[in-house]
Structure 1
Amino acid sequence: MIIVIPIAVILLWALFQSYHEVTDDAFIGHFGPIKKRVKLEDIRLVEFSYNPISSPAWTLKRLSVTDSQHHTYLLSLPKEEDKFREVLQQQCPKDTIRI
């Protein structure tokens, strides 16, 4: 029980606190206690990934965000894919958006 309860709390937290934000200068992916932030100016590629390894997500269809230093972040897909794509294309017009 000592191990199960903390894991259950983290999973419930992630279930109710998973979302994405695009601010004026950054893309932020929230998955419960995990928060990944990528500056919009550093984004070079956004595409789909079906890699189940080492990624906080509820589904196998995920976003792969690669920055200018070749770091790749795997994130869950937002609910409103079309709106998310439009925002990224407006904020990052020089980058490759394949979603």
Structure 2
Amino acid sequence: MNIYYPSKKDSWIAVIIWGVIGIMLADGIFGLQWGVFMVPDPISNPLFKLLFLLAVPALLLWIWFGTGYYIDSESLKVHYGPYKKQIRLEEIEKVVPNRDPFLAPALSADRLEIHYGPGKFIKVSPKHKEEFLQRLRKNIKK
């Protein structure tokens, strides 16, 4: 059975993501002037600017709404917007709590660091951490 665990979402990450989306959309709608920039001509092209102003918010929305973790009988699947990673449960060596705020497929600093090979690890932040750990333990023992 494939069970989905959404990512826990910290308010400070929400402020960053939604702030960037808001600023970019405001710039696209109101044509904000951010000062004098010396940019190459193709970048100042309105079509390029429109694509950029649509692509970045779309990517951030994909990350915000598409970050989660699937556990089935054989693997842990990590989804972080366009990023997808699959780890076989038999490869998992240990899971330890972690609170670093650095880049990871997680929307919270309240994370679990999953070690799954020599020098390999991934950090996740399931909303229901204890339930996630119980399911992981149960499926690893099978």
Q: Which amino acid aligns with 2:134?
A: E
Q: Which amino acid aligns with 1:9?
A: A
- The whole-number CA distance in structure 1 between the counterparts of 2:127 and 2:108 is 12
In the alignment, which of 62, 75, 81 is matched to residue 129 of structure 2?
Answer: 81
- Give RMSD over aligned pairs: 1.6
* C-alpha displacement of 1:60: 1.2
Larger helix share, 1 or 2: 2
Identity of aligned residues (%): 24
User: Where does 1:37-48 land on structure 2 (aligned, <5 Å)?
Assistant: 37-48=86-97
Task: State TM-score, norm by structure 1.
Answer: 0.80
Residue 31 (structure 1) aligns with: 80
Residue ranges of structure 2 left out of the alignment (5+ in a row): 1-48
In the alignment, which of 76, 96, 121 is matched to residue 72 of structure 1?
Answer: 121
Between the two structures, name the one with larger relative contact order (CA 8 Å, sep ≥ 6). 2
Counting matched residue pairs gives 92
- The whole-number CA distance in structure 1 between the counterparts of 2:123 and 2:130 is 19
Residue ranges of structure 1 left out of the alignment (5+ in a row): 94-99
Task: State TM-score, norm by structure 2.
Answer: 0.58
Larger strand share, 1 or 2: 1
